[in-house]
């Protein structure tokens, strides 16, 4: 999500009315702790520093209790943007330079990691080693300019490029060794993408177009996309801003497929900046189309839209499809939502987590993932990765670990994935 460096309306006024305010030199891991961090590792977490000179992926071993241990850093052999917004910005600079979800993602079998290099307009692939470190495999042209989001299914990778505001999606094939190769012509989108995601059945791809307040839906056949729907958000009530769909997370419940959308609600209907309480909506996902279920489920219930949680930029769901989480960069907190058997959402905890030192204004927020019983959140400006324990009954989050300062201290860190 785009996050200005101040919270005044004067600062917000510089934002474009068309967009929402939401390393190492080799492949050898560095800074390896003296103890073996993977002797009992249950999995791994990977975070991207988006370095302007050398973009790098930081690897952490994940223990059974959800805590992390630093392994090291692997260069993408491409360039990020550092603490500067991509050309299709403006963004939040150090807090959200790519203005996207899924800048870093994994293959479904957890064998490979894929990363965007928004500064050099490339994408990179890595193989996951037995010790949870990464080995660089390939870096190729992204099929456009300033890639920000990646979706994967089997041996297919789709990449969303933002270009100068009207994005495109380019298809790639993944070789047996994880190497990427172009797999056809790109497809022009209807606006500026913030996220692309496969439906749970891998037969549908959805793109969030933040500037047009649309969801663009495609059927998928191998590496080919065919548009099946261009969903226009309904006009909001008079007291509410336009939705500005930003974060996407697809989930399955009881054999049915659904979509959770995080909505930033930063601009009013005339394009003037006026941040309001963020929201989520849910959709059924069937037959290559989305159908609205829950509309404008607000992240608080106090009736005052001028206060937080503001600018919901990232949305994620747990594996069972019972809980969803949003990261609200302007309010420096996370909200949780319950998801019922029919895919409807309801607010669980407005501030499921707020920094206990009330210092999130200094550390900011960036991408998040859910693995098992834990949420992993990037604190972009402080270069931290924070681990939270999920209370499955209430949706509350408790900090259990913080890996401090491992990413670029210049800020601009973005992209997190793991297993």
DSSP result, 236-290 = PPTTS----EEEEEEEEETTEEEEEEEE---B-TTS-B---B-EEEEEEEETTEE
pLDDT score, position 308: 81
Closest CA to 53 of 29, 34, 25: 25
pLDDT score, position 32: 41
Closest CA to 92 of 194, 17, 193, 5: 5
pLDDT score, position 369: 97
pLDDT score, position 22: 52
pLDDT in tens, the chain (419 residues): 444 333 333 333 333 433 444 533 334 444 444 456 566 799 999 999 999 999 999 999 999 999 999 999 999 999 999 999 998 876 678 888 999 999 999 999 999 999 999 999 999 999 999 999 999 999 999 999 999 999 999 999 999 999 988 999 999 999 999 999 999 999 999 999 999 999 999 999 999 999 899 999 999 999 999 999 999 999 998 889 999 999 999 999 999 999 999 999 988 878 788 889 999 999 999 999 999 999 999 999 998 998 889 989 999 999 999 999 999 988 889 999 999 999 999 999 999 998 755 555 566 789 999 999 999 999 988 899 999 999 999 999 999 999 999 998 777 999 999 99
pLDDT score, position 331: 86
pLDDT score, position 19: 41
pLDDT score, position 410: 76
Superfamily of domain 9-418: YVTN repeat-like/Quinoprotein amine dehydrogenase (2.130.10.10)
pTM for this prediction? 0.91
pLDDT score, position 408: 87
Closest CA to 60 of 386, 409, 389, 390: 386
CA–CA separation, 111 and 109 (whole Å): 5
CA–CA separation, 317 and 340 (whole Å): 12
pLDDT score, position 362: 60
Laid out side by side, the sheet with 312-317 consists of 312-317, 323-328, 333-339, 345-354
pLDDT score, position 9: 32
pLDDT score, position 110: 97
H/E element, 10 = helix 9-12
pLDDT score, position 395: 97
pLDDT score, position 3: 41
Closest CA to 278 of 227, 250, 249, 314: 314
CA–CA separation, 168 and 162 (whole Å): 7
pLDDT score, position 361: 54
Residue 19 makes CB contacts below 8 A (sequence gap 6+) with 2, 88, 89, 90, 91, 99, 165, 192, 210, 211
């Amino acid at each position: 999500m785009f996050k200005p460096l101040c919270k005044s309306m004067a600062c917000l006024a510089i934002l474009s009315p068309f967009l929402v305010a939401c390393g190492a030199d080799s492949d050898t891991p560095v800074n390896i702790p003296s103890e073996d961090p993977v002797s009992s590792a249950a999995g791994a977490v990977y975070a991207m520093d988006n370095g302007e000179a050398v973009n790098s992926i930081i690897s952490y071993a994940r223990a059974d209790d959800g805590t992390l241990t630093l392994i090291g850093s692997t260069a993408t052999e491409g360039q990020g943007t550092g603490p500067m917004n991509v050309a299709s910005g403006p963004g939040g600079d150090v807090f959200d330079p790519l203005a996207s979800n899924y800048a870093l993602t994994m293959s479904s079998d957890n064998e490979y990691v894929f990363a965007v290099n928004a500064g050099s307009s490339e994408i990179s692939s890595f193989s996951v080693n037995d010790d949870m470190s990464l080995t660089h495999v390939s870096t190729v042209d992204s099929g456009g300019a300033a890639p920000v989001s990646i979706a994967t299914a089997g041996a297919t990778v789709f990449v969303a490029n933002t270009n100068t505001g009207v994005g495109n999606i380019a298809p790639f094939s993944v070789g047996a060794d994880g190497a990427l190769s172009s797999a056809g012509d790109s497809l022009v989108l209807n606006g500026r993408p913030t996220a692309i995601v496969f439906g749970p059945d891998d037969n549908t791809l959805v793109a969030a177009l933040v500037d047009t307040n649309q969801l663009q839906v495609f059927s998928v056949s191998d590496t080919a996309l065919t548009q099946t729907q261009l969903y226009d958000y309904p006009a909001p009530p008079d007291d509410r801003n336009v939705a500005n769909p930003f974060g996407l997370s697809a989930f399955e419940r009881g054999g049915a497929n659904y979509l959770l959308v995080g909505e930033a609600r930063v601009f009013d209907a005339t394009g003037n900046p006026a941040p309001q309480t963020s929201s989520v909506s849910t959709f059924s996902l069937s037959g290559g189309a989305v159908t609205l279920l829950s509309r404008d489920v607000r992240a608080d219930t106090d009736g005052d839209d001028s206060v937080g949680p503001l600018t919901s930029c990232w949305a994620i769901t747990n594996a069972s499809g019972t809980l969803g989480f949003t990261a609200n960069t302007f309010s420096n907190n996370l909200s949780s939502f319950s998801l019922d058997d029919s895919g409807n959402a309801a607010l669980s905890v407005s501030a499921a987590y707020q920094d206990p030192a009330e210092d999130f204004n200094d550390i900011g927020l960036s991408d998040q993932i859910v693995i098992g019983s834990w949420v992993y959140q990037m604190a972009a400006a402080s270069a931290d990765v924070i681990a939270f324990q999920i209370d499955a009954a209430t949706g509350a989050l408790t900090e259990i670990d913080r890996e401090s300062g491992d990413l670029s201290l210049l800020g601009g860190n973005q992209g997190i994935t793991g297993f």
